A and B are shown apart, each in its own frame.
Chain A
Amino acid sequence: DIVMTQSPDSLAVSLGERATVNCKSSQSVLYSSDNKNYLAWYQQKPGQPPNLLIYWASTRESGVPDRFSGSGSGTDFTLTISSLRAEDVAVYYCQQYYGSPTFGQGTKVEIK
């Protein structure tokens, strides 16, 4: 299985500041035949199910605010929240779907 490793495990950011979450896969999730990265990001607030934010590494799901963006290719990916709002406090997970789906361990984003 492809192992997904996120960093940091948690981070505290001031309101209005940028939050950056990193995700590294144990092997490339870039599929050469379509040149797409098989990587998604989810947000999970306490007591709620996960919510899809980003797929194909950088495509924002419908209804997701544009302060959320995804970047990266191959084995290294980043989720950026450009200006943190109170409602963004959550755990964020990356997931690869190149093979059998696997998730990162999660990154908890809090307010400083």
Chain B
Amino acid sequence: EVQLVESGGGLVQPGGSLRLSCAASGFTASNYAMSWVRQAPGKGLEWVSAISGSGSHTFYADSVKGRFTISRDNSKNTLYLQMNSLRAEDTAVYFCARVKQEKIFDRWGQGTLVTVSS
């Protein structure tokens, strides 16, 4: 069974940093691109970042470019999102998602909440 389990969320002050992790199981992670998608409280979905199966190609939304870094360790079947210079508007539930093909998200984790507040 495919499972994606996020961790690392929490409360952080504006300007602070946080690293999210997403542990994958039930499939060969290196065969799939992966992505992060976030959802502010009571709001819609916003794509954040994506990474190719090998990790050699990365992509970012303009809203996080230069502040967030996506990476993966296929030996550990784990996806990461390093978030720096956090802002109040980054407050959201962060989901990791498997990319079926193109940028179609076919499996999602339960999400981890990031709150940026003083």
Contacts and interface: CB of A to CB of B under 8 A. Distances in A.
Q: How big is the A interface, by class?
A: 20 to 34
A97 B104 contact: yes
A101 B103 contact: yes
Contacts of A49: 95, 108-111
A55 interface: yes
Contact of A102 (B47, B102, B106, B111): B47
Nearest to B107: A52
Interface residues of B, number: 20
B73 interface: no
Contacts, number: 48
Looking at A52, A95, A101, the one whose CB has the most chain B CB atoms below 10 A away is A101
B46 interface: yes
B100 to A, nearest CB: 7
Interface string A43-85: 0100011111001000001000000000000000000000000
Contacts of B32: none
A95 B37 CA distance: 12
A52 B44 contact: no
A106 B44 contact: yes
B62 to A, nearest CB: 8
A106 B42 CA distance: 11
9 contacts: A40-B105, A42-B45, A44-B45, A49-B111, A50-B95, A55-B104, A61-B106, A103-B46, A105-B44
| 3 nearest CB pairs, A to B | A49-B108, A97-B103, A101-B47
